[in-house]
Amino acid sequence: MKLNDNSLFRQQAYVNGNWIDADDGKTFEVTNPATNEVIGTVPDLGAAETKRAIEAANEAWPAWRAKTAAERSAILETWFNLIMENQADLAALMTLEQGKSIAESTGEVAYGASFIKWFAEECKRVYGDTIPSKNTDQRIVVTKEPIGVCAAITPWNFPNAMITRKAAPAFGAGCPMVVKPAEATPFSALALAELAERAGIPAGIFSVVTASQGKDVGEEMTTNPIVRKVTFTGSTAVGKILMKQCSSTLKKMSLELGGNAPFIVFEDADLDAAVEGLMVSKYRNSGQTCVCTNRTIVHESVYDEFAAKLAAKVGELKVGDGFEEGVNQGPLINMAAVEKVEDHISDAVEKGAKVLVGGKRHELGKTFFEPTLLANVTTDMKVTYEETFGPVAPLFSFKTEAEAIQMANDTEFGLAAYFFSRDIGRSWRVSEALEYGMVGVNSGLISTEVAPFGGVKESGLGREGSKFGLDEYLETKYICMAGVSS
Ligand SMILES: NC(=O)C1=CN([C@@H]2O[C@H](COP(=O)(O)OP(=O)(O)OC[C@H]3O[C@@H](n4cnc5c(N)ncnc54)[C@H](O)[C@@H]3O)[C@@H](O)[C@H]2O)C=CC1
Ligand SMILES: O=C(O)[C@H](O)CS(=O)(=O)O
């Protein structure tokens, strides 16, 4: 491992301001998905260590919430500056452990930092209300207060931004947070902790508990009565487990879960723009994002032209080690991901789909996979209703606007949706008809810290980023002040 600052490569967990090993000394290996080489090891913590981290957070909370918003904001600004000063090292760690191209890793570090910058500003604008009382003897005031000790469980696909998107509003609101990163990508989280400590985030306010599986740590986080809020980004299946576990102490939750994004190309679309939009929406992070297009639905009159244009662009994608110049398609995170992609492709082909580009494991071996484009896809195929989470673009066709909307909404998910049209009336009609938390019109890349990110139906609860993201870490208090009359 060669970084500009090697102290950012941490192989211990970070609990209550201390770098620690597991109580039983156990560790687990973290490998580079591009080479299968072991990058390093981290401690395999369990419920006992997690309990201590939660208790330390509770001890540290009063002093942190007593700081003014301006004081917390200044510390977040320092954390932001340190992250950007160390962007190259943080990106290198991410490409090593997650596999995405160094360009995408560098972009994610900046994206993750943008949440810290955003909430450093937003946290100074936590306003309340005064409400005219019906009683002259009373005054009514509404205040917003930090919810308390928070716990976060995050995924491997955005190992930096999915932490800062939670920690920044929590810290800004005056809350501590204990984070369990994905077992595949702990080093990005530990580097964030190192820089948080340097920025002045006090011991106990930010802890990172590493574990080879989420169950034990998750059970402690979701059942410990000290924890007031659990925020999770990951699969819908795990989100449901956590929600059940949180019910015993009725914790507030944010859930950013799975998706099944439709991408509709209407007959009046700018086809070149639609191809560009699909390339970024589908193949970003080798198709491993929750907002990746999962189903491309093209009007029959432009289907062949769109498919030909898209096939040409998909064929230009370069697969390889994320550190290699020009590579924009890294490896998938593990063999299970490869097997799911293969299952979706074989199921579609068996049922009549045609492979226009790719379709099989890449000649580089390991978890590298050919960017794939499928035509003649029909709704009886798995790719219709399961999230592929890989570099496969299935093309469906439709005849009418109503049919396209029906196809797009025919899923239990509701995270992101996209469509391309140059008709203003259609743009409003379709935007309003789509049952999704986020809609991209003539754009395939809509994620930003300034807008509310989140889904409806089984894609989750709550919103992250934007002014709405702070509310997830605040409670509303109504104060009735009586005895005012002399
Ligand atoms: N809505 C969103 O913003 C995002 C959603 N996702 C979704 O996540 C999935 C892929 O990411 P994965 O990491 O494979 O998801 P995953 O749900 O398997 O794992 C996510 C995290 O949950 C932990 N975990 C797993 N089982 C657990 C349990 N029983 N108790 C506590 N923690 C547990 C894992 O260790 C990891 O840290 C896809 O479905 C994708 O759509 C991923 C990123 C963003
Ligand atoms: O993990 C994800 O899929 C991210 O939420 C997607 S994004 O915010 O980078 O678009």
Residue from 446, 447, 450 to probe ligand 2 pocket by mutation (most atoms less than 8 Å from CB) = 447
Find out whether the beta carbon of 162 lies less than 6 Å from any atom of ligand 2. yes
The span from the CA of 274 to the CA of 252, in Å, is: 39
Q: What per-residue confidence (pLDDT) applies to 440?
A: 98
- pLDDT bracket for residue 386 (50, 70, 90): very high
Helices (H), 29-101: 47-66, 69-85, 87-98
- Best mutation site among 158, 232, 285 for ligand 2 pocket (most ligand atoms within 8 Å of CB): 158
Taking residues 430-452, report their average pLDDT: 98
Residue nearest to atom 35 of ligand 1 (CA): 214
Q: Is the pLDDT of residue 81 over 90?
A: yes
- Give pLDDT, residue 457: 98
> How far is it, in rounded angstroms, from Cα 184 to Cα 31?
8
Q: Which residues, including other chains, have CB under 8 Å from residue 42's CB and lie 6 or more apart? A: 11, 12, 13, 27, 28, 30, 186, 187, 190, 210
DSSP string, 356-397: EE--SB-TT-TT-B--EEEES--TTSHHHHS---SSEEEEEE
Q: What is the Å distance from ligand 1's center to 281 Cα?
A: 20
Pocket test for ligand 1, best of 153, 178, 446 (most atoms within 8 A of CB): 153
Q: Do domains 6-257+459-478 and 261-441 have the same CATH topology?
A: no
Q: What distance in Å separates the CA atoms of residue 256 and residue 330, rounded to the nearest whole number?
A: 24
ipTM score of complex: 0.94
Quote the pLDDT of residue 486: 82
Q: Would you report the helix, strand and coil content of the chain in percent, each value rounded to 5?
A: 40, 20, 35
Ligand 2 pocket member 163 (CB < 6 A): no
Is 50 close to ligand 2, i.e. is its CB under 6 Å away? no
pTM above 0.90, yes or no: yes
Confidence band for 46, pLDDT divided at 50, 70 and 90? very high
Query: Would the CB of 306 count as within 6 Å of ligand 2?
Result: no
- From the CB of 291, is ligand 2 less than 6 Å away? yes
CA separation for the pair 23, 12 (Å, rounded): 12
Q: Is residue 222 predicted with pLDDT exceeding 90?
A: yes
Tokens linked to 228: 């007031």
Query: Residue 403 C-alpha to ligand 1 middle, in angstroms?
Result: 32
Task: Classify 180 as helix, strand or coil.
Answer: strand
**In angstroms, what is the span from residue 290 Cα to ligand 2's centroid?**
6
**In the predicted structure, residue 458 carries a pLDDT above the cut 90:** yes
387 close to ligand 1 (CB < 6 Angstrom): yes
CA distances for 253 relative to 79, 177, 329, 394, 482, angstroms? 26, 13, 34, 34, 34
d(CA 254, CA 473): 10
Q: Evaluate: CB of 53 within 6 angstroms of ligand 1.
A: no
Find out whether the beta carbon of 454 lies less than 6 Å from any atom of ligand 1: no
Q: What are the boundaries of each domain within the chain?
A: 6-257+459-478, 261-441
Q: Which residue's alpha carbon is at the smallest distance from atom 18 of ligand 1?
A: 235
pLDDT at 247 over 90: yes
3-class secondary-structure state, position 17: coil
CATH number for the segment(s) 6-257+459-478: 3.40.605.10
Please report the pLDDT score of residue 75 as a whole number: 99
Residue 1 in this model has a pLDDT that exceeds 80: no
Average pLDDT score over residue span 120-133? 98
Q: What are the CB-based long-range contacts (under 8 Å, 24+) for 18-23?
A: 18/203, 20/49, 22/46, 22/49, 23/48, 23/49
**Strands (DSSP E) found in 380-442:** 392-398, 416-420, 438-441
Paired tokens of 46: 């369990």
* Cα 22 from Cα 480, distance rounded (Å): 48
Over range 249-259, report the average pLDDT: 98
Asked whether the beta carbons of 285 and 327 are under 8 A apart, the reply is: no
Q: Which of 108, 122, 194, 256 is catalytic?
A: 256
What are the backbone dihedrals phi and psi of residue 126, each rounded to the nearest 5 degrees, phi first? -85, 95
Quick one: average pLDDT of 460-470? 98
Closest CA to 201 of 355, 17, 43, 415: 17
Is 261-441 assigned to CATH 3.30.70.260?
no
Ligand 2 atom nearest residue 256's Cα: 5
Of all ligands present, the nearest one to the C-alpha of 455 is: 1
Atom nearest to 157 CA in ligand 1 = 43
CA gap 366, 475 in Å, rounded:
48
> What's the whole-number mean pLDDT along residues 352-360?
98
- Which pLDDT does position 2 carry in this prediction? 86
The alpha carbon torsion through 430, 433, 436, 440 (nearest 10 deg) reads 10
pLDDT higher than threshold 80 for residue 285 = yes
The pLDDT mean for the chain works out to 98
Nearest CA to ligand 2 atom 7: 447
The mean pLDDT of 113-121, rounded to a whole number, is: 98
Ligand 2 within 6 A of CB of 164: no
Q: Is 256 one of the annotated active-site residues of the chain?
A: yes
